[in-house]
Amino acid sequence: MEFVYPDYYSNSVYNLACAIADFLGVNRECKGKKLEISGRRIALTLLDGLGYTMLSDAGFTVDRTITTVFPSTTATTLTTLFTAQLPAEHGILGYTTYSKRLGGIINTLKYTYPLVDTRDIISEEGIEYEKAFPDVKNYLKEVRDKKTAEVTPKGLENTQFTKLTHGRTNITKTYINYWDAFTEASNILQMKEYDFVYIYIPDVDSLAHKHGPNHPVVKECIRDLYNGLMKLAERFKDYTFVITADHGHVQVNEHIALNHDSELLKLLDVVPYGDSRAVFLHSRYDLKTYLKTKYPNLEVFGRNEFEKLIGGNTSYADYIAVPTDSNAYVYLFKEEGNEYNKLKGHHGGLSLNEMKVPLVIWNG
């Protein structure tokens, strides 16, 4: 499997974020160039989980792709998208990540501990997300002369992760399904009052995780969403529509449970974290030799190689392991009742299917 590395200096979600921050009048000292987006108003739609190859397999051809960030996962990508910061700068590195402030591993989207299902339990203990990750700089907080809006699934509007990354818009509308999402988006767009509208739709990702990215239901969902967005763009030509994604998916062949590897766990100072296809490891020992012998399909990057992955070497980890095959390498914090190792679609790694996402611009 040939790796696709994030193109932070010219053609990635990071460069898109820098362009949006610039459009909104927020100064960011971005590395590399900003993508070019024209127009007086922008409607940004993020279709969670829609890799470029998945869009192509559903029958659509697009002229341009960009790379997402690494790890190719929602928490890391959305944080970069709404901070215009590299992953190494903001520190949200995977579905689970290590927080030095909290002294342990957390679930980044739910802001909870891996063994606890309750969302935002850490904030209930008196530690807001922004205190745990003080380097996250949400540019929507700094917008002064433009009006912003977002359309997001009901239940996500007031979470700690949303507040940290993109929850500072002037208005937020929630929806119960994607038909409702288009209705709420239409209601906002027809006002012509908002300069920037963000629409987040997670349906492709949910279906690809459950059924695998190649399943017919995933392709049908993609067609419905893409056609619906085209109709919106036709109706509201005063807006430049920007459609992209946070990552794609790979169809997983096998789940390899790292918690069953007692020798590996003896070598680690902290249990593995990150994503199933981007495994962060902290150890005082030379793990490369052990991992290449035990798991020949893992490419192991040392700290001196982190720059090309996360844009710096500030991660707490000493090694990052990325699969060269289509397997998921999981550490199950809970083995009983855990559905994670039953998912058929995974992401986080460096394959083309995970890293390449569409960049579609209409009316611009």
139 token code pair:
């540019």
Q: What percent of the chain has pLDDT over 70?
A: 99
231 token code pair:
């109709």
CATH of the domain at 290: 3.30.1360
Quote the pLDDT of residue 342: 84
Quote the pLDDT of residue 262: 96
Does residue 169 share a domain with residue 147?
yes
pLDDT tens per residue, range 260-292: 999 999 999 999 999 999 999 999 999 999 999
Does residue 274 share a domain with residue 207?
no
- Tell me the C-alpha distance between 247 and 243, whole Å: 13
277 versus 337: which is more confidently predicted? 277
Q: Residue 168 — pLDDT band, cuts 50, 70, 90?
A: confident
60 token code pair:
């659509």
Q: Residue 43 — pLDDT band, cuts 50, 70, 90?
A: very high
pLDDT tens per residue, range 79-105: 999 999 999 999 999 999 999 889 999
Examine residue 4 and state whether it is found in any structural domain, yes or no. no
Number of domains making up the chain: 2
The residue whose two tokens read 């940004």 is 44
Does residue 113 share a domain with residue 90?
yes
Does residue 37 share a domain with residue 140?
yes
CATH of the domain at 97: 3.40.720.10
The pLDDT of 58-86, averaged and rounded, is 97
Cβ–Cβ under 8 Å, residues 204 and 49: yes
Examine residue 1 and state whether it is found in any structural domain, yes or no. no
Does residue 43 share a domain with residue 175?
yes
The pLDDT of 62-72, averaged and rounded, is 96
DSSP 258: G
Examine residue 2 and state whether it is found in any structural domain, yes or no. no
Query: Residue 334 CB: number of other CB atoms within 10 A?
Result: 11
Does residue 299 share a domain with residue 224?
no
Examine residue 144 and state whether it is found in any structural domain, yes or no. yes
Range of the domain at 53: 13-251+349-362
Q: State the average pLDDT for the chain.
A: 95
Quote the pLDDT of residue 337: 60
Quote the pLDDT of residue 187: 98
